[in-house]
A and B are shown apart, each in its own frame.
Chain A
Amino acid sequence: MLLVWLAEAVVFALIVAGILAERPLALAAAGVAIVVAGALLRFVAPLRSALVCAFALHPTAALLGGAALALVLPLALRSSPYWTFVATLALLYVTIGQGLNLQIGTAGVINLAGAAFAGLGGYSVGLLTVGAGWPSWLAVAAAPWVAVAVGALLFVPILKTRGHYLALVTIAFVFIFNILMNNLEFTGGPQGIKNIPTLRLGGYAFTARPTLGVVELPAHANFYYAALATAFLATGILRRLHDSWLGLALNTLRDDEIAARCCGVSIAREKLIAFSIGNFFIGLGGALYAVMVGFVSPPDFDFGYSLIMLSVIIIGGVDSIGGVVLGACLLVPLPERFRFLHEYRLLLYGLVIVVMLLFRPRGLWPAGIRRYR
Chain B
Amino acid sequence: MSLLEVKGLTVRFGGLVALDGVDVALGEGETLGVIGPNGSGKTTLFNTLTGLYAAAAGEVLFLGQRLSGLETHAIARRGIARTFQSSRLCLELSVFDNILIGMHAHRRTGLLDSLLRRDRLRSEMSQAIERAAHLLSLFNPALPRRGLERVGQLPQIDRRRVEICRALASQPRLVLLDEPSAGMSPEETAQLMKDLQIVREEMPGLSVMVIEHDMFVIEGVSQRVVALSYGRKIAEGSFAAVSARDEVREAYLGGEAARA
Contact = CB atoms under 8 A, between A and B. Distances in A.
Given A255-B92, A263-B76, A372 B170 contact: no
A373 B126 CA distance: 10
B72 A245 contact: no
B244 interface: no
B82 A262 contact: yes
A191 interface: no
Interface in A177-223: none
A255 to B, nearest CB: 4
Contacts of B215: none
B111 A369 contact: no
Nearest to A266: B73
B175 to A, nearest CB: 11
A263 B104 contact: yes
Contacts of B102: 263
A164 B151 CA distance: 27
Interface residues of A, number: 29
Given A241-B115, A251-B93, A370-B94, A265 B121 contact: no
A274 to B, nearest CB: 11
Contacts of A266: 71, 73
Interface in A353-373: 369-373
Contacts of A265: 73, 101, 104-105
Contact of A370 (B73, B97, B170): B97
Contacts of B114: 240-241, 243-246
A67 interface: no
A264 B122 contact: no
A308 B242 CA distance: 64
Contacts of A240: 114-115, 118
A244 B71 CA distance: 24
Contact of A258 (B52, B94, B118, B129): B52
Contacts of A261: 52, 71-73, 76
A371 B93 contact: no
Interface in A116-159: none
Contact of A251 (B76, B97, B105): B97
Contacts of B63: none
Given A260-B101, A262-B81, A265-B73, A255 B122 contact: no
A249 B94 contact: no
Interface in A39-71: none
Contacts of B71: 261, 266
A372 B122 contact: yes
B77 interface: yes
A372 B125 contact: yes
A255 B121 contact: no
A54 B89 CA distance: 34
Given A248-B104, A273-B111, A371-B148, A264 B170 contact: yes
B109 interface: yes
Nearest to A252: B101
Contacts of B252: none
Interface in A228-283: 237, 240-241, 243-246, 248-249, 251-252, 255-256, 258-267, 273
B122 to A, nearest CB: 6
Interface in A314-373: 369-373
A280 to B, nearest CB: 13
Interface string B121-137: 11001100100000000
Contacts of A241: 111, 114-115
A311 B257 CA distance: 62
Contact of A264 (B105, B109, B111): B105
A121 to B, nearest CB: 21
Interface in B99-122: 100-102, 104-105, 107, 109, 111, 114-115, 118, 121-122
11 contacts: A245-B107, A245-B121, A246-B111, A249-B101, A252-B93, A259-B88, A260-B101, A261-B71, A264-B73, A265-B104, A369-B150
Interface of B: 50, 52, 71-74, 76-77, 81-82, 84, 88-94, 97-98, 100-102, 104-105, 107, 109, 111, 114-115, 118, 121-122, 125-126, 129, 148-150, 166, 170
- Which 5 residue pairs spanning A and B have beta carbons closest together? A244-B114, A264-B105, A264-B76, A255-B90, A372-B125
